[in-house]
Structure 1
Amino acid sequence: MSGVPVDRPRVVCLCGSLRFGREFAAERKRLTLELAIVLAPEAADVPVPDPSLVRALGELHLRRIDLSDEVRIVNPGGYIGAATRREIGYATTLGKRVTYLEPDS
């Protein structure tokens, strides 16, 4: 152990378009240095994704939201796509705190 006391850390789920990989990485690093546990999707580079796999990965991400205290939207330029809007709606229904990298327009 490092000897640094850590209370129950905040759990933050990152949501947003995976095309913003650099921004996801920067936000993951920033939150980790704030001693948060960060949950985020991973880009699955498959040439032609199976629709059932796409649905399953979407459901998996909702389980990350279930586990989180906060949902952080990675939205450079204010961009929020349909899948991310669905995740925001889901998080809001659960009463999760939703925050944005950039203000939601």
Structure 2
Amino acid sequence: MPERPEIVCICGSTRFVDEMAEANRDLTFAGAIVLAPGVFLRVEDRGADASITPEQKAALDELHLHKIDLADRVLVVNPGGYVGDSTSREIAYARATGKPVTFTHPG
């Protein structure tokens, strides 16, 4: 049986939806299994209802931590070096569980 592909969890601000999609595509073509946010909250300019309840936000945050648990490593999509509060928590969680963390824009 062939070796299992690497599993990569994408983290980052949902304002970077296009950059996350690009990272997802690149990783997928490279043969990785990609886990990424399933809901993008900052979609006002795309015509969708961007409002969610605090309970839904908490559930999404918890679900994303489980995605990090499944991953072999985390890729933070951070154009311009931006890392917000939620992403900072995800990075801290990943590091606390021993997951390697890389960034699209180091520094």
- Does the pair score TM above 0.5? yes
Q: TM-score, normalised by structure 2?
A: 0.88
Deviation at 1:48, TM superposition (A): 2.7
Deviation at 1:49, TM superposition (A): 1.2
Count of residues in correspondence between the two structures? 100
Residues 1:6 and 1:35: Cα distance change in structure 2 (over 3 Å): farther
How many percent identity over aligned positions?
Answer: 49
Q: Distance in 2 between matches of 1:85 and 1:40?
A: 16
Structure 1 residues not aligned, in runs of 5+: none
Q: TM-score, normalised by structure 1?
A: 0.89
Q: Which residue of 1 aligns with 2:14?
A: 18
Q: Distance in 1 between matches of 2:74 and 2:26?
A: 15
Give yes or no for the alignment of 1:81 onto 2:84: yes
Q: Which runs of 4+ in 1 moved over 4 A?
A: none
Q: Distance in 2 between matches of 1:52 and 1:13?
A: 23
Higher share of residues assigned helix = 2
Q: CA RMSD in A?
A: 1.4
